[in-house]
Structure 1
Amino acid sequence: MEIKSDPVGGVRIGELLGGAIAAKRKKLGWTQAYLAERLRVDAETVSRFERGVTLPSLQRLFEISETLEISTGELLVGCSQRAMDQAAMLAARMQSLKPGDRDFVVNQFMLACDYLEAREAR
């Protein structure tokens, strides 16, 4: 599916989804060619998905998420600009941290928010 115009907070959803696919692929240490082989498509197709030039079909999105060993929801939430989705992504990421480390992350987050809000007020 060719993307014409699909802005989400100034960024196209295809670019966000493509970035999420690329990030997960790289985290697994896979090349585009290897992912393409596993999906039974050519490497250019994977490249077009990752650059946001085309969106995968719903069926292909399920195949991508299964191949990348991530839920489709995680892929989609990872590209969302909604605050609640981003908060859910952060919460999921913090699950593996020890309680003291989670407190540290929350404190750093609060400091960053305070700084950014003060900067915007100027």
Structure 2
Amino acid sequence: MGKQISTRRKALQWSQGQLAEKVALAPDTISRFERGVTVPSLSKLQELAEVLNLRISDLFSEGSSSPSDQVETVLAWMRPLEPEERAFVLDLVKRTCDYMQQKRGLACAHEAPGSASATK
């Protein structure tokens, strides 16, 4: 559970202090959770999950390779970006995916809804 808290916190680019402030705990308490020294109460676990935009079950899972979980991670990274920066990242991801598909001999994926290319 601690690794999941740490991973998600870092994906959101929050310090332990910032997460602690959001859930009314001391930063050293977050550190103890992340290191597995102690575990949060059920009510605090629910609060952590909500603040981290996760389900409680996500906190108990090992890293996930499911596309929906990966999308959530990328979404957390992109949230603090300005709209122009998010557009740049999306374009970069699209170009990278197209390149990888072409390299493997696959047809390019359809344009993402709302992308600049899709609206032309």
Shorter-chain-normalised TM-score: which range? 0.5 to 0.7
- When normalised by structure 2's length, the TM-score is 0.54
2:36 paired with 1:61: no
After superposition, residues 11-90 of structure 1 pair within 5 angstroms as 17-78=1-62, 89-90=64-65
What amino acid sits opposite 1:90 in the alignment? S
What amino acid sits opposite 2:24 in the alignment? R
Query: Distance between the aligned counterparts of 1:54 and 1:29, measured in 2?
Result: 23
What amino acid sits opposite 1:56 in the alignment? P
Q: Which runs of at least 4 in structure 1 moved beyond 3 Å after TM superposition?
A: 92-96
Residue 48 of structure 2 aligns to a residue in which SS?
helix
Unaligned runs of 5+ in 2: 73-93, 101-120
Cα deviations across residues 24-79 of structure 1 (Å, max 9, x unaligned)?
00000000000000111110110100110001111111000001111112122237
Which is richer in helix?
A: 1
Residue 90 of structure 1 aligns to a residue in which SS?
coil
Aligned residue pair count: 75
Pairwise CA RMSD of aligned residues? 2.5
Decide whether the 8 Å contact of 2:17 with 2:26 is kept in 1. Answer: yes
Query: Distance between the aligned counterparts of 2:25 and 2:35, measured in 1?
Result: 16
Query: Distance between the aligned counterparts of 1:55 and 1:69, measured in 2?
Result: 19
What amino acid sits opposite 1:43 in the alignment? P
Query: Distance between the aligned counterparts of 2:69 and 2:27, measured in 1?
Result: 30
